[in-house]
Amino acid sequence: MSDTSTQMQFGLMSVSDVTRNPLTGETPSEAERISDVVAIAKHAEEAGLDVFAIGEHHNPPFFSSSPTTLLAYIAAQTEKLIVSTSTTLITTNDPVRIAEEYAMLQHVSGGRMDLMMGRGNTGPVYPWFGKDIRQGLPLAIENYQLLRQLWDNDVVDFEGKFRTALQGFTSTPRPLDDVAPFVWHGSIRTPEIAEQAAYYGDGFFANNIFWPKEHYQKLIALYRQRFEHYGHGTAAQAIVGLGGQAFMAKNSQDAIDQFRPFFNAAPVYGNGPAMEDFTEMTPLTVGSPQQVIDRYAEMRDFFGDYQRQLFLVDHAGLPLKTVLEQIDFLGAEVVPVLRRELADRRPVEVPDAPTHRARVTAKYGDAPARQPRPNANRGDNVTGGSPYQDTPAPAGSAFGVGR
């Protein structure tokens, strides 16, 4: 059995909302919230968590329009933390820019990153970027197909429906160690996205915030079954991540009293169901650390053994001090017990959570990783058939000959 610290990754996912604190009536400035989020991510590492993920939004009251800039800064301030997204918009971003920006993040973070593809949750984001929301699924399929090619091949010819064609294009920098970033695909309802994750052997993430859980069970079961179908391993070996929400205090009544005003005013569920109903219907757990442990130890019974558990803790106007306390509860009381309990019941064939290091070893064994070195600039920007020194020019290549 592998080390319990690498079997599963625990961490945070942030929506990046800038929300009024209902107790004080104060709304943090964007500047305050951005600096708070950096503190939150750093504290996650200090508390022993593995992952910090941030969403992508292009409208107030959210600040995270440029996840790679924020995540690069966080990576520079941390040692072990994996930075990720929840999610990166595969529909409205140019896949070439995703390939470039996230490869860059991969280099500066030393491989401590991955990313999650999503389709966005704000209708107008499509027209803002010149896209049609009715094409959401085809965009996700075609754009990701191109993204994969850009990371997996030095030179790409591509002609699709949505983007100007590429001839002999090289996305730079090449992925770190020539191993593309690990990709999760997030979906809450679309079987084609589960299929896509399975087809490529990528991870599948269910945000798991909105139940009924039967819905996620179907999606994850489908993903696992198709992962096996496409020959990436057994269904039990598919890479699954789950979201979750918790608010804790030493004793549960305090947690309920402290969280209720934030729950009642929260943009997502405010003025909707009572907190008691919502916590019963969804994985939101408001109570003692032990209650959170009990609730999340059950997840494997519903979804199978999995690789990543992310918690939403910094939302709804909760002040920084409270968020940091929540992270302390997770790091000191919840995660160590969950790691142990889940490890005890985990069959040996279930793979560890994905890391860059493990993926490099899987690709190269003990041999050194490929480090692409470009050929000399020939005075133009056209890379032609073989831009890298270790790749022989194809026969008859106009640009490669005689270099």
**Residue ranges binding other proteins (CB under 8 A):** 137-138, 141-142, 145, 161, 191-192, 195-196, 198-199, 210-212, 218-219, 222, 226, 230, 268-273, 277-278, 281-282
Give min distance, CB of 145 to other proteins, in A.
5
For other proteins, the closer of residues 128 and 230 by Cβ is 230
Give min distance, CB of 150 to other proteins, in A.
15
Which among 83, 73, 68 has a CA at the least distance from the CA of 114? Answer: 83
Give min distance, CB of 86 to other proteins, in A.
17
* 8 A C-beta contact, residue 116 and residue 86: yes
- Which residues, 6+ apart, have CB-to-CB distance to 116 below 8 Å? 53, 84, 85, 86, 87, 88, 183, 184, 185, 186, 205, 241
Cα gap 280→299, rounded to integer Å: 14
Which among 76, 7, 65, 4 has a CA at the least distance from the CA of 41? Answer: 76
For other proteins, the closer of residues 224 and 339 by Cβ is 224
**Can you read off the two tokens belonging to residue 211?**
């139940």
For other proteins, the closer of residues 196 and 386 by Cβ is 196
**Can you read off the two tokens belonging to residue 66?**
């440029």
Give min distance, CB of 244 to other proteins, in A.
15
Give min distance, CB of 176 to other proteins, in A.
27
Give min distance, CB of 361 to other proteins, in A.
28
What is the torsional sign of CA 167, 168, 171, 172? negative
For other proteins, the closer of residues 135 and 355 by Cβ is 135
For other proteins, the closer of residues 41 and 193 by Cβ is 193
Q: b/e per residue, 83-118, with b = 16+ CB within 10 A?
A: bbbbbbbbbbbbbbebbbbbbebbbebebbbbbbbb
For other proteins, the closer of residues 152 and 192 by Cβ is 192
